[in-house]
Amino acid sequence: MDQLLYLAGRVLLGFIRLFPLVWVARAGRAVGGLVFRLDARHRRVTIQNLARCLGGERTPAEIAALAQENFRRIGEGFACAIKTAGLSEERMRGLLDLTGLEQAGLATPQAQAVRRVFALGHFGNFEVFGHAVQRIPWCVGATTYRALNRPGLNRLLVALRGQRRLLFFERRRDGAALRAALRDQPLLLGLFCDQHAGDNGLRLPFFGQDCSTSKAPAVYALRFHAPLHLAICYRTGLARWRIEVSPEIPTYEPAGTPRSLADIMTDVNRGFEAAIRRDPANWFWVHKRWKPPSPRALARAAAAAAAAANPANPAAQPAEDDDEGA
C-alpha cells in the first residue's frame, strides 16, 4: 500500500507540473472551494477559529466569506507549492518579492558570518521560503520538519522539498545534527511556530486567548546568540507572493541579560497577530490552535505549584521539560 501511495503521489506531482502556474493556482482554488463545501469538520473549525479571533470585528457573513476564501487560498498554496518547487530561481524572481533584508542585516555578503533564526508561520505559500534563501547565496538555509507516518509519502515530500538548497532536520531525530550545523556554519534557520505545541509548549496568549506555543525559536536564538526575526509570506495576487522580513525581535534586555522565553515568544505571537489582521484569509485557520491543556500538563502545573509552595519537599519538585530538541 505504501508503495502504491508513493507511485500515485509521483504521478499526481508530475501531472500538476505539466500545466502553467496560473492554471495550477486556479485549479487549487477550485479544489479548495469544493473542499470547503464537503469537509464539514474543518469548515466548522475554521469558522470557529475566525469567530473567536475576529468575531468582534466581523459580521457572521464576513466570517463565513473569510472561511471560504481561506480554503481557496490553502488549495492554491498547496497546488502552487508543487509547481514552484521545480521552478528555476530566475523564473521565481518574477513571482516572489523579498523585502526587509536590509533591516535584518542580510543584504550584503558581510552578513555571512552571522547565523539567524526566523520564526515562520503557515502564511500564503509558505513553501517558497526555500526559494527566498536562494537570494542570499552567502548563507545556507535550514529548517525542521516532522516526518510523515507513511514512509513512501514522506520520501516524496522530502524529495519535493530537497530540490532547493536547504538543509532539512527531522524534529524528533536530528536535534544533535542541527545543533552541530548551527555551530559549524552561519545558517538561516527557519522554524514554524504558529501551531499547537503540545504539553511542552509555553501557555501564552494568541489573540488574547491562552494556547500552547512553541518555544524553539527563542531557545535557538538565545543558545546560539542568533538574531531573531519574523518572516511572513503574503499573497499579492494569483500565484504571486512577497516575503517580508521583520526587524530583529529583542532576545536580551538592555542590561545584557537574556529575556524570558515567554516574553520573546509573546512578541512573536503579536507579530503573527498583526500579519493575520492584515490579511485574515492568508493564514492556516483549519488547524485547532487553541487546544486546552492535557491532563498530563495540568498535573505538571499542579506539581510545579506544589513545589513552589513547599520547596523543601523533593517529592514536590516537577520533572524538567525538554527544549524541543534545542
**pLDDT band of 287, cuts 50, 70, 90:** very high
Cα four-point dihedral sign 318, 319, 323, 326: positive
Q: Are residues 212 and 308 in the same domain?
A: no
CB crowding 90-110: b at 16 or more within 10 Å, else e: eebeebbebebbeebebeeee
Number of structural domains the chain divides into: 2
**pLDDT band of 132, cuts 50, 70, 90:** confident
Residue that the C-alpha cell 546560539 belongs to: 224
Q: Is the pLDDT of residue 187 over 90?
A: no
In percent, the amount of the chain with pLDDT more than 70 equals 84
Beta bridge partners of 166: 141
* Model pLDDT, residue 11: 74
**pLDDT band of 6, cuts 50, 70, 90:** low
Q: Is the pLDDT of residue 16 over 50?
A: yes
Q: Are residues 274 and 256 in the same domain?
A: yes
* Model pLDDT, residue 126: 84
- 271 vs 318 pLDDT, higher one: 271
Q: Are residues 301 and 273 in the same domain?
A: no
207: domain CATH number is 3.40.1130
Q: Which domain holds residue 303?
A: 293-326
**pLDDT band of 213, cuts 50, 70, 90:** very high
Q: Is the pLDDT of residue 151 over 80?
A: no
* Model pLDDT, residue 1: 66
Q: Are residues 67 and 178 in the same domain?
A: yes
Q: Are residues 57 and 20 in the same domain?
A: yes
Quote the CA–CA distance of 233 and 119 in Å, as a whole number. 12
Quote the CA–CA distance of 40 and 71 in Å, as a whole number. 12
Q: Are residues 227 and 88 in the same domain?
A: yes
Q: Are residues 149 and 298 in the same domain?
A: no
**Residue 148 C-alpha from the chain's centroid:** 16
Cα four-point dihedral sign 88, 93, 96, 100: positive
Q: Is the pLDDT of residue 138 over 80?
A: no
* Model pLDDT, residue 128: 87
Exposure of 198 in the CB half-sphere (CA atoms within 13 A): 6
Q: Is the pTM of this model over 0.85?
A: yes
Q: Are residues 230 and 90 in the same domain?
A: yes
What is the tens place of the pLDDT at every residue in 218-247?
Answer: 999 999 999 999 999 999 999 999 999 999
Among 153-162, 177-186, 256-265, top mean pLDDT goes to 256-265
Q: Order of strands across the sheet with 228-237?
A: 96-99, 240-245, 228-237, 116-120, 187-192, 140-145, 166-170
Which triple of cell numbers denotes residue 200? 511542552
Q: Are residues 233 and 317 in the same domain?
A: no
What is the tens place of the pLDDT at every residue in 244-272?
Answer: 999 999 999 999 999 999 999 999 999 99
Q: Is the pLDDT of residue 45 over 60?
A: yes
* Model pLDDT, residue 318: 47
Q: Is the pLDDT of residue 113 over 70?
A: no
Q: Are residues 281 and 325 in the same domain?
A: no
* Model pLDDT, residue 102: 78
Q: Are residues 74 and 144 in the same domain?
A: yes
Per the prediction, the chain carries an average pLDDT of 86
Q: Are residues 181 and 300 in the same domain?
A: no
Quote the CA–CA distance of 206 and 213 in Å, as a whole number. 9
